[in-house]
Amino acid sequence: MQTEISYRFERAQLANRFLNELKHWTVADVKAKLFNGSDSVKITYEFDTKGFDYTCSELDDLANKYGGKEL
């Protein structure tokens, strides 16, 4: 199942830092891009729908590190 999640950050610089960290992220295979301006990031990844979505949890933790909030 294709899953999308989006985060908004206080500044474009923080969104870019988050985006750059995802480019080298080893937790899961995700596709990320800026959208809706330069302060938001949209992430797409494949979720197998079996059990808890650890990828989403890890993304939330990483976004929180940069002050991002899920949209």
Say yes or no to pLDDT of 52 above 80. Answer: yes
Interval 2-13: pLDDT, tens? 999 999 999 999
Average pLDDT, the chain: 94
Say yes or no to pLDDT of 48 above 80. Answer: no
Stretch (H or E) spanning 34: strand 30-34
pLDDT range class, residue 50, cuts 50, 70, 90 = confident
Cα separation of 64 and 59, whole Å? Answer: 8
**Domain residue ranges in the chain:** 2-65
Cα separation of 59 and 17, whole Å? Answer: 13
The model's pTM is 0.90
Return the amino acid letter for 60. Answer: D
- 3-class secondary structure, 38: coil
